[in-house]
Structure 1
Amino acid sequence: MRIYLDNAATTPLDPEVFEAMKPFMLEDFGNPSSIHGHGRKVRAAIESARKKIAELLNCTPGEIIFTSGGTEADNAILTSSVRTYGIKNVISSPIEHHAVEHTLHLLTKQEQLNLRMVQLDAKGHIDLDHLESLLKENPNALVSLMHANNEIGNLLNLERVAELCDQYKAYFHSDTVQTVGHYRHDLSKVKVHGITAAAHKFHGPKGVGFMFIRKDKKIQPFVHGGAQERNMRGGTENVYGIIGLAKALEIAYRDMDEHIRYIKELKTRMIERLTEQIPGISFHGDSANLETSLYTVLNVSLPESDENDMMLFNLDLQGISASGGSACSSGAAQGSHVLGALYPESKRGAIRFSFSKYNKPEEIDVAVKALSELCKIPA
C-alpha cells in the first residue's frame, strides 16, 4: 500500500464531502441561472454554501466569489486591483507561489509597474521593517504576500502586515491557499482586502475555490461573458464543486482543534526520528518550528550527496509519495525558486513532506526508515 505524504499538493476527498456533492451530480442538475424550479433549487444551494463560508470566515456572503481554484483567484485579484485602482507600485517577495510571481511579472510588463521585493531573513520570513520602508517609498501600492509558504511552510504575521497596509493606504492581497481550512480566519478583524482558497487543499474537490473581496475594496471582473457570481465572474458555476467546498470548510472548522493537535504530533514525530536517524539532516526555512510554520508541512534538507537528484524517484519506488517543492512546478526542469532564493549556493537535497488527518504514525516511521536507508547508499 502506498503512503501519501504530499498533502500540500492536494488532499484526499473527505467521504462526508462526497456525500454532500452526490445529489448535485445526479439529481439536482439544474442551471443555477435558470428561473424555473430546477434552476432555483440549485441557486438556493449555491447561496446557502456561500452563506456558510461567509459565516465561518466572519464576512458577508457578497464578499465571497467562487472561482476555479486558488490560481484563478490570485490572478483575478492581482490583475483587477491594479486596473481598478490605477496601481503603479507593487510590493511582493521572491518566494511567492507562481500564481502570484508569474502574474506580477506579466503585469509589470503590461502595465509598466514598479515591482519591489521585500527582504527576507535567514529563515525566509518577511522583514517587516523593510516592508514598512517600501510602503513609505511607494504610495498607493499593491502588496501581495502569502500567508503560508507552500514549500517551506513559513507563516506570515497576517494581522501586522494588514495593519501596515492600512496605515499606508495599500491594497493588501494574500494567497491563503495553504491556510484556509487549516487555521481560523476572522475577516472582520484582519484588514486584508483579498484572500484566496482552493477546496482540494482541505479535503474538498479539485477545480473549485473562492476569493474574498472586501466590500469597500471591490475590483472589476476578471472573467467576462456572464452575470454569474454577482457580475464578478462569468460562467456557469461549478455547482457540486461549490457544495463540496462549503462542506469541506464546515468539516475543517468543526474538527480543526483535534486535527491541529494530531497533525502536529505527526510532524513532531518525523522531526525527531529524522534527526535521530540521519546525521547532518536539517530543515529548510522555519518548517521545523511548530509555532512559526504550517503544521502540515516539513521541508527536509538532506546532506550533500550524488543520490539526492534521485531521492524522490527512489522514495516513489518504495511506495512513498512526497514532493521536492511546489506541485505546480513538478515536471519543470528548474529547481525550486523558493529554495533558490533562500539558499542560492546550497547543494543539499530537498524533500517536502506534508501531512493530513488521514496519515498514521506508522506511515511516518516507514517514510523515515526508507529515507534513512536511501541516505546511506554510498555515492
Structure 2
Amino acid sequence: MNKRIYLDYSATTPMKKEVLDEMMPYFSEKYGNPSSIYSFGREAKQAIDVARDRLAKAVGASSKEIFFTGGGSEADNWAIKGIAYANRNKGNHIITSKIEHHAVLHVCEYLEKDGFEVTYLDVDEYGMIDLEQLKEAITDKTILITIMYVNNEIGTIQPIKEIGKIAKEKGVYFHTDAVQALGNIPIDIKELDVDIMNFSAHKIYGPKGVGGIYIRKGVKIHPFIHGGAQERKRRAGTENVPGIVGFGKAAELATQNLDSHIAHVKRLRDKLIEGIQNNIDYVRLNGHPTERHPGNVNFCFEFIEGESLLLSLDMVGIAGSSGSACTSGSLDPSHVLMAIGLTHEIAHGSLRLTIGDFTKEEDIDYVVEHLITIVDRLRQMSPLYEGVKGGK
C-alpha cells in the first residue's frame, strides 16, 4: 500500500510548516521560563504575549480575555466547573445538550454527583437544539448554558447568537465549545453574547497539547489549576511556550486563509457527498444539510459495521473515523447518532470523513471509488442485506 489519504481532520490536523518554524527556537535557543524577570524569561513572555494577541484577534476578543490551557478538554472542564463552583450561591442548575463532546457531558455527570442538576436538551434529526425548549428549561436556579458551536461528529452548527441572546436576557452564563468552529467558520465574539469560548490548537494545524479559552471580562469563575501566578493567577503551571507560540501562529494563519479554506473544503465535501449518494444505496447523510462544518461528511451505511468499514478503508490507505476520536474502540454506538433518532443497527454503520487544506480532488475520487467496492463487498457478507437486495 503506497497511497495514503487522510480524511480525519476533525480528529487532528498536520502541523503547518510556518507553525513549526516559529516554534523551533523556543525548544532550544529561547528556552527561558516566562515567569523569570531576566532577559531569557522576558523573551519567552513576549512570545506568549504575541500569541495571545494573535488568538484574540482571530476571534475578535481582547487579549486580556484570552488564557492558554493544556487543550480543549481542559478548557471545557475549567469553563463548566469554574462557573458552577463560583456561582453555587446563586443556583445549581446547568443546561446542555445530548450531543455535546464527552469533555462536557462527563463534567456535567461529575457535577450531578456533587449536588448540581443538569438538563440535557433534545436535538432534532439534524442535531439542532430547540430554542423554545431551551427557554422553557431555564429556571431561577440556572447558572450556566453550555452548548457546542459545531458538533465534532455530524458537523451541525448551532444557533449560537440566538442562544447567547436568550442567556443574556435571563442573566445566565453561556459557554460554547468552539474547538471545531475556529478555523472553519467566521467567529466574532463581539457579535455573540458568549461569556466563555474554548479552542484547541491541533484542530487548526497547530501543535497538540495546547488550548485556549476566552473568558469575558467580569465573568465570575474559579481558577482550574492552583499553584502559581501564571495566566494572571487563573491557570497555574509553567507555560508551554513552544506550543503557545505555535497556537498563536496557527490562529493567525487560520484567520488569514479562512475564506479560501472554506471554499476549498466545502467544494470537496460536496463532491464527496454527491459521489457517495449517487453510487451507494441505503445511505443516510447525518447532520444539518446546510448549517454544517464546511469539511464534514458523516454517513451511515446500512447493513454493515462501521469498524469493518474503517479497517477496509485503512487497508487501501484511507483514514477516517466512526465519530469522535475520543470514543474510538468503543462498541457502543455514537451518543450523537442515537440522539438524532437513529437505531443501534444504523448508527453502528457510521463513517465520518473530514476534509482539510491538504486534501486534493483526486483524493476524493479515490475514496469514492474504493468506498463503492468496499461497501458492496461487506454487504455481500451481511445476512441483513441478503434479505433486501432481492427486492431492488
Q: Which TM-score applies when normalising by structure 1?
A: 0.96
1:298 Cα shift? 0.8
Q: Does 1:103 align with 2:107?
A: yes
Any conservation in 2 of the 1:199–1:208 contact (CA below 8 Å)?
A: yes
Q: Give per-residue Cα distances to partners, 1:241-288, cap 9 Å, x unaligned.
A: 0010010010011111011011110001001111111122221122xx
8 Å Cα contact 1:140/1:169 also seen in 2: no
In structure 1, the residue matched to 2:133 is: 130
Cα deviation, residue 303, structure 1? 2.1
- In 2, Cα distance between the equivalents of 1:281 and 1:75? 36
Aligned to 1:369: 369
SS in 2 for 1:316: helix
Q: How does 1:31-70 map to 2 (within 5 A)?
A: 31-70=33-72
Whether 1:172 and 2:171 are equivalent positions in the alignment is no
1:1-379 paired onto structure 2 within 5 Å: 1-86=3-88, 87-110=91-114, 112-135=115-138, 137-286=139-288, 289=289, 291-305=290-304, 308-348=306-346, 349-377=349-377, 378-379=380-381
1: CA distance, partners of 2:70 / 2:368: 36
**Superposed displacement of residue 180, structure 1:** 1.2
Give the paired residue count.
373
Q: Letter of the aligned partner of 1:356 in structure 2?
A: G
Q: Distance in 2 between matches of 1:30 and 1:308?
A: 48
SS of the residue corresponding to residue 350 of structure 2 reads: strand
Shift of 1:318: 1.1
- Greater shift, 356-365 or 139-148, is seen at 139-148
**Structure 2 stretches of 5 or more lacking a match?**
382-392
Secondary structure at the counterpart of residue 184 of structure 1: coil
Alpha-carbon distance between aligned partners in 2 of 1:84 and 1:300, rounded to the nearest angstrom:
41
Summarize deviations over 1:124-149 as a string: whole Å, max 9, x none: 210111001112x3543311100011
Distance 1:129 1:282 in 2: 28
| Larger CA deviation: 65-74 vs 180-189 | 180-189
Gaps of at least 5 residues in structure 1 are none
Distance 1:222 1:365 in 2: 47
Secondary structure at 1:376 match in 2? helix
Q: Measured at CA, do residues 334 and 255 of structure 1 come closer, stay the same or move farther in structure 2, by a change above 3 Å?
A: same
Offset at residue 187 of structure 1 (A): 1.3
Q: Tell me the CA shift for residue 107 of structure 1.
A: 0.8
Secondary structure of the 2:84 match is: helix
- How many angstroms apart in 1 are the aligned matches of 2:103 and 2:15? 23
Shift of 1:338: 1.0
1:189: how far off?
2.1
Q: In structure 2, what is the Cα distance between the partners aligned to 1:145 and 1:82?
A: 15
Identity of aligned residues (%): 38
CA contact (8 A) 2:95 2:142 kept: no
Whole-angstrom CA distance in 2 between matches of 1:186 and 1:274: 34
**Following the alignment from structure 1 to structure 2, what is the Cα–Cα distance between the partners of residues 119 and 374?**
34
Work out whether residues 306 and 351 of structure 2, in 8 Å CA contact, stay in contact via their aligned partners in 1: no
Superposed displacement of residue 345, structure 1: 2.1
Instruction: Tell me by how many angstroms 1:56 deviates.
Output: 2.4
Letter in 2 for 1:198: S
Separation in 2 of the partners of 1:276 and 1:193?
Answer: 43
> How far does residue 346 in structure 1 lie from its aligned partner after superposition?
4.3
Distance in 2 between residues matched to 1:230 and 1:247, nearest whole Å = 22
The letter for the 1-side match of 2:117 is: N
User: 1:288-312: CA deviations, max 9, x gaps?
Assistant: x2x301112110111223x544111
Q: Give a deviation string over 1:4-23, Cα, whole Å, max 9, x none.
A: 00000000001110111111
CA distance, structure 2, for counterparts of residue 20 and residue 196 of structure 1: 23
* 1:296-354 deviations in Å (ceiling 9; x for gaps): 2110111223x544111111111100000100111223221111222352422100000
Contact 1:139–1:168 (Cα < 8 Å) also in 2: no
Helix, strand or coil at the partner of 1:188: helix
User: What is the deviation of 1:191?
Assistant: 1.1
